[in-house]
Chains A and B, each alone.
Chain A
Amino acid sequence: MKVRKLFISLATILSLAAPPALADLVLPWLSYRTGPYSAGGIPTADGFVDYFTLLNERDGGIGGELVKIIECETGYNTQKGVECYEATKGEGSLVYVPLSTGITYQLIPKVSVDQIPLQTMGYGRTSAKDGSIFEWVFNFPANYWDGASVAIKHVLDENGGDISGKKIALVYHNSAYGKEPIKTLEKLSEKHGYELTLIPVDHPGLEQKSQWLEIRRGQMDYVLMWGWGIMNSVAIQEAANIRFPMENFIGIWWSGSENDVIPAAERAHNYKSLTFHGVGTDFPLYDDLKTYLHDKGIGSGDGTSIGTVLYNTGIYNAAILAGAIRKAQEIHGVSDITPAMMRDGLENLVVTDEIMASWGLPGFAPPFEVSCENHGGDGLAMVKQWDAQAKEWNLITELISSDKEVINPLIMEDSTQYAAENNITPRC
């Protein structure tokens, strides 16, 4: 692990010291392989890096251009994330993937000035879905407000469409990220008549006794969770401690990796989490990853994280960026694209079932289309459930669409306010 980090650091230093070959497609990756959140950062980074290494090894890159990834270590620290951005933006970087809502908020004004796209898959500023205001920011295929709505729709489905009078608690990381779904859940509670209780947890979330005593006292019917890192595993343990029914405990997609359920072992059985991509390795792409990378010993890590939730997140993130690069090359008729061309590729991205299959990922994620007005995709997600005996996640629903009737006005309100504050005229 350390040697790999050393190599990555050396590679980063060397890549910073020497200008990239002009033909490279440069993708910075603001990773966090160290620090308190490294257990989540490592598999995500491994998936992302493996995908592009595979394209380089198998296909000779994208459109004949090799992909060069510049990893910059943030330790999940917002300040370091901004430093990474400043240090790498002059390297011909095509798009930034900040992997943190905190870093995203800092980078939004910067990328708009520097005209480099920012892609935040399932995190970041939700109202960036409004592409008419956030020209350089993309948050497809789903955002936090979609997540909140999908979770409530799942609860509705389980209760025959009537959840009036039900007690639903939101246990959330007391940060910009954790607070994202509050407004949506409040609006949805007005619509469906459930009673919402907000229960914040301070960083890092090692101690949550008060919160779970409150849930026990309040006899909550459902608990939704917007957590990250150690907060997730502690919450699942505490839920088990008070004998909260795990099938009524639903986490956002960042609260649903193996890291979160393993510490509670069999007590985490039936815990649920949202997801916007598939689980496991039963996809043709994984055969290629084995053949071209891991059998040759050039894959990231030791291969044990392949097929885990966060590895798959990294794979999916890389796959849709590769799709956007292809689209940009197609639109502009050149293989060596610029950040502005990349933005066009992202804005015109169309992912169909056929395209997913051509990527070796049939049925892995929902189809979606990006447009000038809609940088956030269609907001579809599924629910997965942890099987503690088999130690695997299983998808238990079809794709669930978020409640656009509630979410779209909220997005419009927030993006309009942002536009007014920053003197932005809607583009489309």
Chain B
Amino acid sequence: MQTLLFALEVSINGFMTGILYALVALGFVLIFKASGVFNYAQGVMVLFAALTLVGLQQGIVPFEHLINNLLGTSIHGFGWNMPTLLALLLTLLSMLLLAWLVERLILKHLVNQNPVILFMATIGLAYFLEGFGDLMWGADVKKLDIGIPVGISDTVEQATHEWFGYGFFIDRLDITASIVAALLVIGLTIFSQFSKTGRALRAVADDHQAALSVGISLRRIWVIVWSIAGLVALIAGIFWGTKSGVQFSLSLVALKALPVLMLGGLTSIPGAIVGGLLIGVGEKLFDFMIGSMIGGATENWFAYVVALVFLLFRPQGLFGEKIIERV
């Protein structure tokens, strides 16, 4: 009985963790779906969004190290903290500006190029953004706190203790992340299905040439989709940054999204969510039941093995579109 309770607790936590994976994977899906580009920079976008948010919030002067080096000054912040809502708004605007610049400076010049070229461009973008973030906000570890409650939920612990005699651990941050992710997916679905821009976005995703022929501006759609990916990156950055502090390793969160994408499919928003949940629950349960027998630390291994198996039998993923190449 106790093992069953532990397994249930592990599954619930895996479910919540899966949502955090899905948040990162969503950014990849949105851009791939609309432009056929696998955005290597998505992990760094998560980092950059979190860095910008915490930098603004803590009143760090952008490029202060550069300014001090060039002008011999010793500026260390504005001396005030920005209200969180304003910092969030400005960060969102920064991500929109980034999307516009990416289209203007990179994508515009690569229209009709081989997808591999676009992929390589996003690798360049990732390295640029990482260095730019370092230059702008500094490389030190920063605490991100926008008021989201963290730590064990007493309510859940007490309730489960009364029911089962064992109090479950559930992180309040994960509960908030689940609610936000659900709202995000609902919002994205409504936007995609019922708005004019959303329909245009789906049209571009289906066929670039056909969309162009009916007067849809590919460049405008790209700006919109990179902006939405920027918003998703900001949300992912908030939750992952709150968990670990904002530091440059945060960009490695993309590694957790890759198996989710392979499983859920690169072109499906529900796929990213379902893939995230399957990987989250699967890796935690596997580690709980089998991990200790084989030395532990099986989570990454499990996620990628599952993804590999899916690649062998269903290369487009669970919800991805089947790739048919006509000769």
Contacts and interface: CB of A to CB of B under 8 A. Distances in A.
B165 interface: no
B141 A233 contact: yes
Interface in B199-240: 240
B143 A265 contact: yes
Contact of B249 (A2, A204, A237, A241): A204
Given A201-B297, A302-B65, A213 B249 contact: no
Contacts of B122: none
A38 B134 contact: yes
A304 interface: yes
Contact of B248 (A38, A174, A233, A305): A38
A259 B134 CA distance: 16
Interface string B51-91: 00000000000001110111010101000000000000000
A174 B297 contact: yes
Contacts of A198: 296
B319 interface: no
B291 interface: yes
**Max chain B C-beta neighbours (<10 A), residue from A34, A202, A207:** A207
Nearest to A35: B248
A241 B152 contact: yes
Given A230-B250, A267-B151, A207 B299 contact: yes
Contacts of B240: 206
A217 interface: yes
Contacts of A2: 65-66, 131, 134-135
A36 interface: yes
A165 interface: no
B147 interface: no
B284 interface: yes
Contacts of B195: none
A307 to B, nearest CB: 14
A200 B296 contact: yes
A80 B133 CA distance: 23
Contact of B252 (A34, A36, A258): A36
Interface in A159-198: 174, 198
A359 interface: no
A332 interface: no
B143 A263 contact: yes
A64 interface: no
B256 interface: yes
Given A36-B252, A210-B10, A302-B68, A200 B139 contact: no
A427 B243 CA distance: 51
A210 B13 CA distance: 8
A410 interface: no
A262 B245 contact: yes
Contact of A234 (B135, B143, B244, B246): B244
A214 B6 CA distance: 9
Interface residues of B, number: 57
A230 B66 contact: no
Given A1-B65, A259-B141, A262-B143, A39 B151 contact: no
A39 B248 contact: yes
B87 to A, nearest CB: 18
Interface string A5-45: 00000000000000000000000000001111111001000
Interface size class of A (residues with CB under 8 A): 35 or more
Contacts of B145: 265
Contacts of A1: 65-66, 134-135, 138-139
Contacts of B138: 1
A210 B291 contact: yes
A179 B304 CA distance: 23
A3 B244 contact: no
A209 B139 contact: no
Interface in B1-48: 6, 9-10, 13-14, 17, 20
A234 B140 CA distance: 16
Contacts of B256: 206-207
Nearest to A33: B139
Contact of A230 (B70, B140, B247, B255): B247
A263 B13 contact: no
A209 B284 CA distance: 8
A420 interface: no
A34 B249 contact: no
B66 A240 contact: no
A297 interface: yes
Contacts of B134: 1-2, 34, 38
A399 interface: no
A302 B74 contact: yes
A259 B249 CA distance: 12
A242 interface: yes
Interface string A206-229: 110110011011000000000001
A206 B252 contact: yes
A340 interface: no
Nearest to B301: A202
B135 A39 contact: no
A206 B296 CA distance: 16
Contacts of A36: 247-249, 251-252
Given A199-B296, A204-B252, A209-B13, A263 B244 contact: yes
B152 A237 contact: no
Contacts of A258: 141
Interface string B177-196: 00000000000000000000
A2 B138 CA distance: 9
B276 to A, nearest CB: 12
A302 B247 contact: no
A3 B67 CA distance: 10
B311 interface: no
A213 B10 contact: yes
A395 to B, nearest CB: 23
B299 A237 contact: no
A241 B151 contact: yes
Contacts of B288: 210, 213-214
- Top 9 nearest A-B pairs (CB, nearest first) are A263-B245, A230-B249, A200-B297, A36-B249, A2-B135, A1-B65, A259-B141, A3-B69, A174-B297
10 contacts: A1-B134, A3-B66, A4-B65, A39-B141, A206-B244, A207-B299, A217-B6, A229-B247, A259-B245, A263-B246
Given A216-B169, A262-B142, 10 more contacts: A37-B249, A202-B300, A204-B249, A206-B252, A213-B13, A230-B245, A233-B141, A263-B142, A303-B74, A304-B76
